């Protein structure tokens, strides 16, 4: 199953979103929070993100979703750190909450890496209120 890594500057946001997603896509066990710095403070850390990618990977690849600009940059650095490893990783250009839920459901039903990425990215621009 395609794994998911949730990158947020806030550990509480990443962990809360992991909890929410685990309720909606209960069969998906490869959702890993990579929020905050090692000491629990606000920030992002490429090393923590790369470790989360390794943890989420079961061989089908990993989609990374991030909250803000420096979270994206830390995620890109984390992916570069894993270049010598045989892990397929994609960084989604998607809203963190909606993209995560869509990606988790897509992964849970057996979609491949590209389809899971597309499910997340298809959430861009979706209107919540008609």
Element (H, E) at 112: none
* Token digits of residue 12: 């509480």
Query: Could you tell me the two tokens for 21?
Result: 């997603």
Please state, in angstroms and rounded to a whole number, the distance separating the CA atoms of residues 52 and 62. Answer: 10
Q: Which residues pair with 121 in a beta bridge?
A: none
9 is catalytic: yes
Residue of 9, 48, 90, 118 with catalytic role: 9
Q: Return d(Cα 87, Cα 17) in angstroms, integer.
A: 24
- At 31, give phi and psi (nearest 5°): -105, 120
Which residues belong to the active site? 9
């Amino acid at each position: 199953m395609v794994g998911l890594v949730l990158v947020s500057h806030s550990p509480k946001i990443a962990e809360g979103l992991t909890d929410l997603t685990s309720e909606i896509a209960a069969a998906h066990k490869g959702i890993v929070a990579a929020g905050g710095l090692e000491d629990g403070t606000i920030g992002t850390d490429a090393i923590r993100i790369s470790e989360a990618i390794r943890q989420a990977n079961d061989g089908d690849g990993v989609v990374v979703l991030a909250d803000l600009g420096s979270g994206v940059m830390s995620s890109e650095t984390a992916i570069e750190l894993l270049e010598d490893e045989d892990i397929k990783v994609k960084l989604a250009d998607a809203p963190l909450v909606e993209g995560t839920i869509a990606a988790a459901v897509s992964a849970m039903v057996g979609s491949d890496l590209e389809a899971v990425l597309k499910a997340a990215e298809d959430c861009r621009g979706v209107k919540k209120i008609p």
